[in-house]
């Protein structure tokens, strides 16, 4: 517990934890002040995400790389998962899908781009393991195809189409999870030597925690397992409670701020949910450990596309009012496809300079700008 307090004292990001009780007090006193509650929940989720991410790393650092990778898959994107589950229980499939697409696009464009840019500001040319980047890009491409083909082949107007869409979504969900599992098996077991330094990247934050531990940096040292597990449990409950307020307030707040729901779902939620991972990725880029940045950014994106999204779809059968399908509206599929192609194009060479980051951020800005200006009716 001392370690936890010490960490909170040293990490200014964690001071935002003060907003967690503020959310619950606010919700009791003024349940109709949606705009205020919305801002409070945003501010409260950021430090909780950071704690969650650190606790996950600490647990993963205890295990081997294979189990660590699996842990990362299940826990690394926990914030996104909890927010999405809350929205799922409320039957808000639209918000769930928007946050999935937003997380994929934000991770593979903004997080990767900002890493390249920040790293490029300090180093003239940076190199990274392109085998690892290619694997992640290929996995993302598979996910994009899995989401694109149904939309292209199906005009689900008839009732028959809807039933068929549900079966197809089930099949695709299983297929994506299998592909993800085989990809982990490939990169962590049978061909791990190809992923050299990138093995850590694939294992995401676990690897970072491990390396950081070796480097002896106080702020990122792994916690004792008991503390880590307790934090994991406690913070998950807190995130779940805060998310509930967030999901309730988000639509009203969007109207108040003049933001389209699409913009909130894609951009705001995605940036908040990934805040902690971004801090890790950016700091790694500035230490010239671009393998790690690419691993976090693309690894996280492919985790969401091939693991979190299908799992949410499967869970929708048990939670919430109606099962969710995997059909995304055309604009979302186009964004995922473009994000994937862009990431594949720029990571192909295994080298980076600041302008590569600018290009990625520009593509992200095109999306953000379009979503911000989108008339509320159309999505």
Instruction: Work out how close the CB of 135 gets to a second copy at its nearest, in angstroms, rounded to a whole number.
Output: 8
Token pair for residue 179? Answer: 């592909």
Instruction: Work out how close the CB of 160 gets to a second copy at its nearest, in angstroms, rounded to a whole number.
Output: 5
Alpha helices in the chain (DSSP H): 2-10, 19-29, 34-62, 65-71, 78-89, 93-105, 112-122, 130-153, 159-185, 198-202, 205-215, 225-257, 261-263, 269-273, 275-286, 290-303, 309-315, 330-347, 354-373
- Complex with a second copy: residue 55 or 172, whichever CB lies closer: 172
- Complex with a second copy: residue 115 or 243, whichever CB lies closer: 115
Residues 6+ apart with CB under 8 A from 264: 98, 250, 253, 254
- Complex with a second copy: residue 67 or 164, whichever CB lies closer: 164
Instruction: Work out how close the CB of 300 gets to a second copy at its nearest, in angstroms, rounded to a whole number.
Output: 20
For 290-355, give the secondary structure using H, E and C. Answer: HHHHHHHHHHHHHHHHHHHHHHHHHHCCCCCCCCCCCCCCHHHHHHHHHHHHHHHHHHCCCEECHH
- Complex with a second copy: residue 149 or 237, whichever CB lies closer: 149
Instruction: Work out how close the CB of 146 gets to a second copy at its nearest, in angstroms, rounded to a whole number.
Output: 5
37 near 23, Cβ under 8 Å? Answer: yes
Which spans of this chain sit near a second copy (rule: CB under 8 A)?
Answer: 124-125, 134-135, 138-139, 141-142, 145-146, 148-150, 152-155, 158, 160-161, 164, 167-168, 171-172, 175, 178-179, 182-183, 186, 190-191, 194, 330-331, 334-335, 338, 341-342, 344-346, 348-349, 353-356, 358-359, 362-363, 365-367, 369-371, 373-375, 377-378
CA-closest candidate to residue 315, choices 76, 89, 73 = 89
- Complex with a second copy: residue 51 or 254, whichever CB lies closer: 254
Instruction: Work out how close the CB of 165 gets to a second copy at its nearest, in angstroms, rounded to a whole number.
Output: 8
- Complex with a second copy: residue 164 or 227, whichever CB lies closer: 164
Q: Name the 3-class secondary structure at 126.
A: strand
- Complex with a second copy: residue 104 or 245, whichever CB lies closer: 104
- Complex with a second copy: residue 233 or 349, whichever CB lies closer: 349
Give the sign of the dihedral formed by CA 25, CA 27, CA 29, CA 35: positive
Instruction: Work out how close the CB of 227 gets to a second copy at its nearest, in angstroms, rounded to a whole number.
Output: 37
Max CA separation in the chain (angstroms): 61
Instruction: Work out how close the CB of 303 gets to a second copy at its nearest, in angstroms, rounded to a whole number.
Output: 17
What is the spatial distance between Cα 127 and Cα 132, in angstroms, rounded to a whole number? Answer: 12
Instruction: Work out how close the CB of 336 gets to a second copy at its nearest, in angstroms, rounded to a whole number.
Output: 12
- Complex with a second copy: residue 280 or 352, whichever CB lies closer: 352
10 Å CB burial of residue 106 (0-12, 13-18, 19+) is buried
What is the spatial distance between Cα 243 and Cα 84, in angstroms, rounded to a whole number? Answer: 9
- Complex with a second copy: residue 5 or 369, whichever CB lies closer: 369
10 Å CB burial of residue 218 (0-12, 13-18, 19+) is exposed
Q: Name the 3-class secondary structure at 91.
A: coil
């Amino acid at each position: 517990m001392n370690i936890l307090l010490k960490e909170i004292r040293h990490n200014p990001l964690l001071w935002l934890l003060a907003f967690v009780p503020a959310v619950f007090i606010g919700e009791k006193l003024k349940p109709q002040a949606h705009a205020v509650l919305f801002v409070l929940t945003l501010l409260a989720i950021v430090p909780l995400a950071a704690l969650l991410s650190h606790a996950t790393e600490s647990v993963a650092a205890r295990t081997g790389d294979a189990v660590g990778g699996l842990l990362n898959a299940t826990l690394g994107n926990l914030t996104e998962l909890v927010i999405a589950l809350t929205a799922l229980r409320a039957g808000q499939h639209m918000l769930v899908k928007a946050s999935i697409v937003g997380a994929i696009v934000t991770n593979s464009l903004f997080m990767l781009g900002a890493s390249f840019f920040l790293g490029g500001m300090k180093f003239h040319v940076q190199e990274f393991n392109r085998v690892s980047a290619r694997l992640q890009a290929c996995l993302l491409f598979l996910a994009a195809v899995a989401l694109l083909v149904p939309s292209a082949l199906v005009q689900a107007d008839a009732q028959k189409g809807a039933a068929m869409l549900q079966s197809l979504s089930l099949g695709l969900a299983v297929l994506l999870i299998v592909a993800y599992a085989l990809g982990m098996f490939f990169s962590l077991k049978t061909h791990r030597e190809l992923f050299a330094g990138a093995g850590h990247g694939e294992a995401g934050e676990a690897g970072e925690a491990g390396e950081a531990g070796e480097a002896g940096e106080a702020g990122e040292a792994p916690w004792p397992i008991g503390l880590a597990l307790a934090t994991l449990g406690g913070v998950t409950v807190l995130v779940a409670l805060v998310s509930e307020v967030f999901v309730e307030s988000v639509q009203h707040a969007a109207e108040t701020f003049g933001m389209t729901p699409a913009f909130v779902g894609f951009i705001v939620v995605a940036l908040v949910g990934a805040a902690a991972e971004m801090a890790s990725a950016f700091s790694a880029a500035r230490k010239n450990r671009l393998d790690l940045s690419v691993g976090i950014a693309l690894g996280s994106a492919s985790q969401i596309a091939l693991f979190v999204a299908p799992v949410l779809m499967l869970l929708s059968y048990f939670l919430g009012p109606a099962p969710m399908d995997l059909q995304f509206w055309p604009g979302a599929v186009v964004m995922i496809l473009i994000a994937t192609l862009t990431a594949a194009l720029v990571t192909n060479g295994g080298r980076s300079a600041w302008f590569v980051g600018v290009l990625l951020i520009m593509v992200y800005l095109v999306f953000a700008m379009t979503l911000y200006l989108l008339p509320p009716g159309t999505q």
